[in-house]
Structure 1
Amino acid sequence: MERRNFLRVAVVGGAAAAFGGASWGTAFAATAQPGPSPYGALLAADANGIHLPVGFASRVIARTGQKVAGTDYFWHPAPDGGACFADGAGWIYVSNSEVPLVGGVGAVRFDASGAITGAYRTLSGTNVNCAGGATPWGTWLSCEEIDYGRVFETDPWGVRAAVARPALGKFKHEACAADADHGYIYLTEDTTDGCFYRFRPTTWGDLSSGVLEVMTGANDLVDGPVGWARVPDPDGFPITTRKQVPTAKRFNGGEGCHYAAGTCWFTTKGDNRVWSYRPATSTIALTYDDSLVTGTPPLTGVDNITRSATGDLYIAEDGGDMEINIITPAGVVAPFLRIAGQSSSEITGPAFSPDGRRLYFSSQRGTAGNVFGGITYEVTGPFRS
């Protein structure tokens, strides 16, 4: 049986049992399916090469190797994971640099009108900083995507020096998400046999010490309860963290991670899935799986993820059609935007401004198709409220 059909039977059958006799059609709707976008169809590409719905517009914020407008900061190569932080009436967008040796984080500052008022470095001298996550206390966690990679806690304002946080484990980090409701930092691992982790600080708001755990469960489990086990040696040497707990559940290429409304959503690029973990019940489920889609999957190359205040998930593609797709709370998946003419790139760092009216993201390699071609964009328009 083909993987697509096998998973369709296995997941839908399991969901039907969980629904206690509900129809298979109802159970199947538990994973997102293609449908009309709440924003309508995409229009022809604009002057920046972005296909957007009616009412939306894009602008270029920064280009690798060029000064950010009105500043002396040269935008870094390979812009990757990012987040926005409130700054008085304005905000700051931070962006990782996924290159070796220099790596680090850059930031762009905006005033209340959206005008750029500054740009600067907040971290340098690190390796392949891929994604990360924002904390409720106003710092950005920048993750190294290398073997024995570290997490650095950085100051979006660039005032305080960045600090390595080895208690969060040394492994091939991708992204992380802070769960203030339950006191955890969740972390993904970008390997084909990667794990999903959580870190409980000794004191919430202080990441210098705490307990690192790994999710446990059957590797084929896609819907149901999971467990957690302590990682004996977060340093991962000589035994890597993902191999220290025999019952650890494996995920195929952990990518984006975002916590909101009692749920941690995370993605796995190796099998084009969006997962949800509910800490209140310690259960996981599939929000999206391209092998369970009826017809042609609109979302492939599943990568970075964020969420709007109204509950829509926005998932960026690494490859695919170079799209950001939306998954609505009703379970509809549809393209929100598409970048034309950049098939050798990937979309990274989607993040909303604090007021939810602007979406930032990057094309990591841009039209050049290499790390020196990065372009960072802003999209404005009638986002749902």
Structure 2
Amino acid sequence: MEHRSLSRPPAAGAGALAFSGSLWRGAALTSAALTDLASPYGPLGPPDAGGVALPEGFTARVVARSRRTVTGTAFTWHDAPDGGACFPDGTGWIYVSNAEVGAGGGGASALRFGPGGNITSAYTILSGTSRNCGGGATPWSTWLSCEETAAGHVWETSPWGGPAVRRPAMGRFNHEAAAADPVREVVYLTEDEPDGGFYRFVPDAWGDLSSGTLQVLAAGAATSGTFTWEAVPDPGGSPRAVREQVPGMKAFDGGEGCHCAGGAVWFTTKGDGRVWRVDLLGGTYALACDGGVAVPGRGPLARLDGIIGSSSGDLYVTEDGGAMEIRVITPDGGVSVFLRVSGQSASELCGAAFNPAGDRMYFSSQRGTSGSPSGGITYEVRGPFRT
């Protein structure tokens, strides 16, 4: 059911952008520059009882499991947890998580934490949608939940619950992630197709996503160069798909995560294991990391999924399968493993997000040890993250 209003608490802060990270200092890297520097956190220790290997000083705990009651609540956690984000909530915070379940069984749920990290409640914030995969938070503290279907919508919903609103002006396509840019007052969008586009939505009024202009990045076939933003004639995508409407659109192989900070936006493509950097000030794009190149002792970055940034400027990238790792890319171009999950090779890591203090990271293993959507596990990692 589509609702016409969106509930927002008057005291809500600008959650997602509190830890959007500084402007990444590294220039776009060529494949030859990709290095396997020692991790800024040191080597991984042995896996813990849950199969999570972490550097010294870090610990992990399970905060939710699919089809099980969340500890301290009466709420049952959803299947196939996917994209997520954290929002300030008084002296605590809220972690929201999508459900990548099809046929109207998708949506999103929330975990509410007290100041000490204890879970105080859990609840649904969106239901009745399909394959809610990625998404993104807004500066006005709402969650954009994106449907990964051929005619998928972006849904805007509140982390505190209440009515959700469909945003058709943001286009109907195989949505993945969204990243808000308060400087240019736009929202960037990725598309999970082998020939997908990279989009931006320019709302008529910042803070109101009900109307505006959908544009797509247009450029040549090279891995770097200049670009322009071209308007999509029919964001509804019928009868012609959105990605087929602009002849000069640059195609990207399976757009996934998206992160905006300072004068740049990064996004990942899982088809070729790449991290792209769009220079919003210079009007150029280039590879930030060519993951198809094997890193000595690590192998290539396989099937990249989400990407987030920390206040230190580090980028954290999750893997869809592969070695089931979260890797960190530092501003000097080093690529290293931050954590690894063993015994879950039929799953994927997703939904990484930092709490407001930056000392806890949340993420999910979408199918857990069972390899089934019903086996999803959502984790919290705590430790001395770089600030």
State the AA in 1 paired with 2:133.
Answer: C
- Following superposition, the deviation at residue 283 of structure 1 comes to 1.2
Mark the CA change 1:31 to 1:353 in structure 2 (over 3 Å): closer, same or farther.
farther
Q: What fraction of aligned residue pairs are identical, expressed as a percent?
A: 56
1:25-75 Cα distance to aligned partner (Å, 9 max, x none): x97488542110000111100112100000000000000000111111100
SS of the residue corresponding to residue 222 of structure 1 reads coil
Equivalence for 1:116: 119
- Please give the residue correspondences for 1:145-294 in structure 2 after superposition, counting only pairs within 5 Å: 145-158=148-161, 160-219=162-221, 221-293=222-294
SS of the residue corresponding to residue 118 of structure 1 reads strand
Is the 2:292–2:300 contact (alpha carbons within 8 Å) kept by the matching residues of 1?
A: no
SS of the residue corresponding to residue 112 of structure 1 reads coil
1:204-244 Cα distance to aligned partner (Å, 9 max, x none): 0000000000100112x222211111000000000010000
- Please give the residue correspondences for 1:50-69 in structure 2 after superposition, counting only pairs within 5 Å: 50-69=52-71
State the AA in 2 paired with 1:255.
Answer: E
State the AA in 1 paired with 2:135.
Answer: G
- Following superposition, the deviation at residue 261 of structure 1 comes to 2.1
Is the 2:169–2:209 contact (alpha carbons within 8 Å) kept by the matching residues of 1?
A: yes
SS of the residue corresponding to residue 374 of structure 2 reads helix
SS of the residue corresponding to residue 207 of structure 1 reads strand
- Please give the residue correspondences for 1:1-385 in structure 2 after superposition, counting only pairs within 5 Å: 28=30, 31-100=33-102, 101-158=104-161, 160-219=162-221, 221-293=222-294, 295=296, 296-297=298-299, 299-385=301-387
Q: Give the Cα–Cα distance (whole angstroms) in 1 for the partners of residues 112 and 284 of structure 2.
A: 39
Q: Give the Cα–Cα distance (whole angstroms) in 1 for the partners of residues 174 and 30 of structure 2.
A: 34
SS of the residue corresponding to residue 292 of structure 2 reads helix
Q: TM-score, normalised by structure 2?
A: 0.90
State the AA in 2 paired with 1:73.
Answer: F
Q: Give the Cα–Cα distance (whole angstroms) in 1 for the partners of residues 32 and 130 of structure 2.
A: 39
SS of the residue corresponding to residue 329 of structure 1 reads coil
Mark the CA change 1:94 to 1:369 in structure 2 (over 3 Å): closer, same or farther.
same
Q: Give the Cα–Cα distance (whole angstroms) in 2 for the partners of residues 108 and 91 of structure 1.
A: 9
Is the 2:189–2:198 contact (alpha carbons within 8 Å) kept by the matching residues of 1?
A: yes
Which blocks of at least 5 consecutive residues in structure 2 are unaligned? 1-27
Is the 2:72–2:120 contact (alpha carbons within 8 Å) kept by the matching residues of 1?
A: yes
Q: Give the Cα–Cα distance (whole angstroms) in 2 for the partners of residues 178 and 33 of structure 1.
A: 30
State the AA in 1 paired with 2:176.
Answer: E
1:71-103 Cα distance to aligned partner (Å, 9 max, x none): 111000000000000001100000000001110
SS of the residue corresponding to residue 33 of structure 1 reads coil
State the AA in 1 paired with 2:142.
Answer: T
Is the 2:131–2:147 contact (alpha carbons within 8 Å) kept by the matching residues of 1?
A: yes
Mark the CA change 1:27 to 1:192 in structure 2 (over 3 Å): closer, same or farther.
closer
Mark the CA change 1:183 to 1:51 in structure 2 (over 3 Å): closer, same or farther.
same
Structure of greater relative contact order (alpha carbons < 8 Å, 6+ residues apart)? 2
SS of the residue corresponding to residue 238 of structure 1 reads coil
Q: Give the Cα–Cα distance (whole angstroms) in 1 for the partners of residues 34 and 201 of structure 2.
A: 29
SS of the residue corresponding to residue 129 of structure 2 reads coil
Q: TM-score, normalised by structure 1?
A: 0.91
- Following superposition, the deviation at residue 285 of structure 1 comes to 1.4
Q: Give the Cα–Cα distance (whole angstroms) in 2 for the partners of residues 278 and 91 of structure 1.
A: 32
Count of residues in Structure 1 that have an aligned counterpart in Structure 2 = 358
Q: Give the Cα–Cα distance (whole angstroms) in 2 for the partners of residues 203 and 133 of structure 1.
A: 19
Is the 1:34–1:293 contact (alpha carbons within 8 Å) kept by the matching residues of 2?
A: no
| Structure holding more helix per residue | 1
Equivalence for 2:10: none
Q: Give the Cα–Cα distance (whole angstroms) in 1 for the partners of residues 351 and 300 of structure 2.
A: 20
Is the 2:31–2:289 contact (alpha carbons within 8 Å) kept by the matching residues of 1?
A: no
